[in-house]
Structure 1
Amino acid sequence: MSTEKEIQSFREKLEAVSEWPSLYMFKFIVLAENQDEIKEIFENHEVIVKPSSKGKYVSLTIKMLAGSAEQIIEKYMETNKVKGVIAL
């Protein structure tokens, strides 16, 4: 989500399919050495970590009760700052 148009489109999709508050699941792939940065962003939520077969990467799954589409977008904007993160 890099352009305002993409963000607005995502916001509209979230608002069309969700009633708030809503449970939302985030999934990320990141270098294992950078996983703590994602965990800090979701510090009050359970983070499920699965390492890759060689241990270089981890997948992170986080469930969050969001009060609005904007809360979800804010989390994606924060995680986008982590080096090498891939949001699924």
Structure 2
Amino acid sequence: MDEKNTEDFYKKLKKQLQDTSKWPSNYLYKFIVESATDKVDQIHKIFDNMGAVINSKKSKNGKYTSVSITVNLNSADDVIKKYKEVGEIEGVISL
């Protein structure tokens, strides 16, 4: 996604989160990464010391790992901030 599309996406997401959630609230992130990299560890570090519940599951053939993270956040801006931090890791797919 180019920068303009990315910013439009986050503006839309922020509005949806504000319209559908009361803050603070639990939020569920889902990511997919290649298993043979340190990307899962990098994602874990982003949510370290936040009280996040993190579940990882390898795909049937072990090539990919899905990472689900439930964490209590204070605002829609906090949700977007974490998406942007994880987005800095090359090859991570956000669902």
Q: TM-score per shorter chain, which class?
A: over 0.9
Q: Secondary structure at the match of 2:57?
A: strand
For residues 44-88 of structure 1, give each alpha carbon's deviation from its aligned partner in whole angstroms, at most 9, with x where no partner exists.
322101001121210001001010000000000001111111111
**CA RMSD between the two structures:** 1.3
In 2, distance between residues paired with 1:84 and 1:50?
A: 17
Q: Which runs of 5+ in 1 are unaligned?
A: none
The residue aligned with 1:41 is 46
Q: Secondary structure at the match of 1:39?
A: helix
Aligned residues: 88
The residue aligned with 2:23 is 20
For residues 20-66 of structure 1, give each alpha carbon's deviation from its aligned partner in whole angstroms, at most 9, with x where no partner exists.
00111001101121211111111132210100112121000100101
Bigger mean CA deviation after superposition, 40-49 or 70-79: 40-49
Q: Which runs of 5+ in 2 are unaligned?
A: none
Match of 1:65 among 59, 72, 78: 72
Q: Deviating runs (4+, > 4 A) in structure 1? A: none
TM-score normalised over the length of structure 2:
0.86
Match of 1:11 among 1, 14, 18: 14
Q: Secondary structure at the match of 2:61?
A: coil
Q: Secondary structure at the match of 1:53?
A: coil
AA aligned opposite 1:86: I
Identical aligned residues as a percent: 40
TM-score normalised over the length of structure 1:
0.92
